[in-house]
Amino acid sequence: MKYVFRMEDLECAHCAAKMEREISKLDGVISVNVSFLAQKMTLECDEENKPDIFSKAKAICKRIEPDCVLVER
Amino acid sequence: MKRKQKKLLIRIGISAALFIAAVIISETLDVKIWLSLAMFFLPYFISGYDVILSALRNIVRGQIFDENFLMCIATVGAFAIGEYPEAVFVMLFYQIGELFQSIAVGKSRRSISALMDIKPDQARVLRNGQEITVSPDEVGIGEAVIVRAGEKIPLDGTVISGTSELNCMALTGESAPKYIEKGMTVTGGCINLSGILKIEVSSKYEDSTVSRILELVENAASVKSKTDKLITRFARYYTPFVVISAFLLVLIPTLITGDFADWLGRALVFLVISCPCALVISVPLSYFGGIGAASKKGILVKGALYLEALAEAETVVFDKTGTLTKGVFEVSEVKCFDNEEKLFAVAAALEANSNHPVAKAVYEYSSSKACVNPKLSEITENAGYGVVGLLEGKKYFAGNIRLLNEFKIKTEEIKSDLAVVYVGSEDGLIGYFVVKDELKDSSREAIKALKSLGISQTVMLSGDREECVSEIAKKLSLDKAVGELMPDSKIAELEKIICGARKGKKVVYVGDGINDAPVISRADVGISMGALGSDAAIEAADVVLMDDNPQKVAEAIGLAKKTKRIVIENIVFALGVKLAFMVLGAMNIAGLWLAVFADVGVSVIAILNAMRTLKQ
């Protein structure tokens, strides 16, 4: 299942690439795509670890760009 | 401008004013060094406190080589060697660049969504005789909606009453209005120019053309180009490389000459230009703009990757029917050797069982002429041959020359670029129908345009007879045409072409998606045209043309080439300037002033250049 997040206040292209790289290394993540221009993240992951992966992904984004807020839709 | 951007602008303004004051004061009055430091530190802090903060935060988290951190070292270093105005200027200018970047990116994000302004906001639905305004996704299939002049058609459907002209510019890029009357189908997103239309809705909003297009364009941003990935990877090594060079530039000469301050000054130049931002932003921005410009013309590209591949196109392969020809078949000539009554009756009875467009044309023609309706049994259709059936113990057939050969009936073959359907029985030929499918008016122009774009090979694949195919190929001046292909041998033929392509060059296949979805998905870049109705075609294709004009293929390739040129310009320009400044900085020719000017300037120019793709 693919989940789409809106990334509010994602301002730095470089950071988007960094987020994508780090999130892709998380256990259980099948694929992840951070689009700087669309301000959107598409995340595909294991169903059972979903909450854990989501919170880790959010933490990574927060660490790399503190102003950026992830909103699931 | 957003609140965040306004805040930054105010900070830059205050900081710039204080900076100018500080420069004037320190130039005219003989101030103490600590006072001068304080005077310059104030504007520095006002403009750059968030940079310093995030740098500190990132160090705690172990993220060095972060652009904020590098900016801090560069400016603190400048303070340390007594270059106060330089330090402030670097920070100030860096922030101006950031502000500009965020405005420019915001602007292009908005202009791309403006291009896709096809989403209907409301629908006037008729319920219990009353007109109610609701959101389009609340309207069900079969309900009737009213569209007044100047309004957007909310959903796909069929016109129940009213005549009008539609502007479908936002959907197809076609500026000429389209005449619409009762019984015709319309797509949501078109604008009603005159008259009141009553439309019966044929699909729910989430399955409508508009929402499919929007979804497609939205997803396009996620498919990154190869160049984009390459630059992102390059950026990971670029920054550490520059920082280590800066470090060595201080360390080695200082050990030899002992002049630490001079070499530190030179090394700071390196740090200022160490951010690869210009590249990292401009590549995806260019492709994003290119995709946006394409969608404005009714060319939907599913991602930067495909736009990039289109620019490398060397061979363009076309399907014939419905792609280069109109796909509307009409019987243009009938020849009868026997009883005419019998010819029409048998033809109608047999061809009624086939879905082939040529067979349908024959059926329609002959069924209108036939007076009797013979019942044939054991009717079978052989794809690529025709239809065979049993009547009064005798085998009758309607089909092409191949079928005729199977019945071992000799006849003079008709040489023409038109399809011929022979009708006969075991005893011999009864007659034949010549069915024509006209070339599209735009096909010749399309092939010419492709040639002038440097496409070295244009090919047509078709299931039709060899003569018919080569006749069309001559008319259009195609390089190659292969006929008599069964649906599965089309893929094999395409694969042959792909194998023969030069390395790095792409093969594009253009079809109408009705029966060639597998071929579309096999090509390097698959284009389906006029495919608004067919889900399979949209699914399989990398590029979807909203109408069925083959010239759009050339337009798409032209756009892709221009986008690619802009991307290359940006890469060469940004890397060239940065490299030049490393050399000039190391030789102590370019100071910090120039370096920050160059760094921010490169970003700004690269972004402005990238935004040109939008205006193609």
Judge whether B385 and B406 are in contact, CB under 8 Å.
yes
> Which of A26-30, A59-63, B217-221, B375-379 is predicted least confidently?
B217-221
Residues of chain A with C-beta less than 8 angstroms from the C-beta of B102: 11
Cα(B18)–Cα(B40) distance, integer angstroms: 8
Nearest to B427 by CA among B382, B393, B378, B383: B393
| B304 contacts chain A (CB < 8 A) | no
Residues of chain B with C-beta less than 8 angstroms from the C-beta of A35: 221-222
For an interface test with A, give the residue of B57, B219, B285 to mutate (most A CBs within 10 A).
B219
**Residue B194 token pair:** 């005159």
What pLDDT, on the 0 to 100 scale, is given for residue B408? 78
Residues of chain B with C-beta less than 8 angstroms from the C-beta of A59: none
- HEC string of B31-59 equals CCHHHHHHHHHHHHHHHHHHHHHHHHHHH
Mark yes or no for CB contact A11/B102 under 8 Å.
yes
Q: For chain B, where do the domains classified as CATH 3.40.50.1000 start and end? A: 299-325+439-560
Cα(B277)–Cα(B206) distance, integer angstroms: 38
Judge whether B212 and B302 are in contact, CB under 8 Å.
no
Q: Cα dist. A15→A62, A66, A68, B93, B218 in Å?
A: 11, 11, 10, 21, 21
Residues of chain B with C-beta less than 8 angstroms from the C-beta of A64: 63
CB contacts < 8 A, A to B, total 45
Cα(B215)–Cα(B206) distance, integer angstroms: 10
Strand partners, B151: none
Residues of chain A with C-beta less than 8 angstroms from the C-beta of B280: 13-14, 17
Query: Helix-strand-coil percent breakdown of chain B, rounded to 5?
Result: 55, 20, 25
Q: For chain B, where do the domains classified as CATH 2.70.150.10 start and end? A: 140-203
| B232 contacts chain A (CB < 8 A) | yes
- Please tell me the class of the B299-325+439-560 domain: alpha beta
Residues of A with CB under 8 A from a CB of B: 9, 11-14, 17, 33, 35-40, 42, 63-64, 66-67
Cα(B88)–Cα(B85) distance, integer angstroms: 5
| B102 contacts chain A (CB < 8 A) | yes
Mark yes or no for CB contact A40/B109 under 8 Å.
no
What pLDDT, on the 0 to 100 scale, is given for residue B237? 86
Strand partners, B157: B186, B201
Angular region, B186: left φ>0, alpha ψ -120 to 50, beta rest: beta
Nearest chain A residue to B63, by CA: A64
Nearest chain B residue to A34, by CA: B222
Mark yes or no for CB contact A37/B57 under 8 Å.
no
| Options B319, B516, B542, B548, the catalytic residue | B319
What pLDDT, on the 0 to 100 scale, is given for residue B71? 85
For an interface test with A, give the residue of B5, B224, B230, B307 to mutate (most A CBs within 10 A).
B224
Candidates A13, A38, A64; nearest CB to B280:
A13
Judge whether B354 and B540 are in contact, CB under 8 Å.
no
| B111 contacts chain A (CB < 8 A) | no
Q: How far apart are the CA of A49 and the nearest CA of chain B, in angstroms? A: 24
CB atoms within 10 A of CB B134: 15
What pLDDT, on the 0 to 100 scale, is given for residue B523? 92
| B214 contacts chain A (CB < 8 A) | no
What pLDDT, on the 0 to 100 scale, is given for residue B558? 95
CB atoms within 10 A of CB B200: 16
Mark yes or no for CB contact B277/A14 under 8 Å.
yes
Cα(B50)–Cα(B337) distance, integer angstroms: 92
Candidates A37, A42, A63; nearest CB to B109:
A37
Q: What stretches in chain B show pLDDT beneath 50?
A: none
Q: For chain B, where do the domains classified as CATH 3.40.1110.10 start and end? A: 326-438
What pLDDT, on the 0 to 100 scale, is given for residue B373? 76
Residues of chain B with C-beta less than 8 angstroms from the C-beta of A12: 277
Give the full edge-to-edge strand order of the sheet including B480-482: B299-301, B543-545, B525-529, B506-511, B313-319, B457-461, B480-482
Q: How far apart are the CA of A37 and the nearest CA of chain B, in angstroms? A: 7
**Residue B424 token pair:** 């006969």
B319 is catalytic: yes
For an interface test with A, give the residue of B56, B105, B275, B607 to mutate (most A CBs within 10 A).
B105
State the amino acid at position B252 in one-letter form. I
Q: How far apart are the CA of B610 and the nearest CA of chain A, in angstroms? A: 13
Mark yes or no for CB contact A36/B281 under 8 Å.
yes
**Domains along the sequence of chain A with CATH:** 2-72 (3.30.70.100)
Residues of chain A with C-beta less than 8 angstroms from the C-beta of B235: 14, 17
What pLDDT, on the 0 to 100 scale, is given for residue B401? 79
Interface of B with A in 65-84 (CB under 8 A): 67
CATH topology of domain B140-203: 2.70.150
Q: How far apart are the CA of A71 and the nearest CA of chain B, in angstroms? A: 17
For the domain B326-438, what is the CATH superfamily, name and number? Calcium-transporting ATPase, cytoplasmic domain N (3.40.1110.10)
Cα(B150)–Cα(B153) distance, integer angstroms: 9
**Residue B570 token pair:** 């940006």
Residues of chain A with C-beta less than 8 angstroms from the C-beta of B307: none
Residues of chain A with C-beta less than 8 angstroms from the C-beta of B4: 9, 67
Candidates B61, B102, B284; nearest CB to A37:
B284
Whole-model pTM: value is: 0.79
Nearest to B468 by CA among B87, B54, B476, B28: B476
Cα(B483)–Cα(B318) distance, integer angstroms: 12
- HEC string of B214-253 equals HHHHHHHCCCCCHHHHHHHHHHHHHHHHHHHHHHHHHHHH
More confident residue, A69 or B221: A69
Mark yes or no for CB contact B235/A14 under 8 Å.
yes
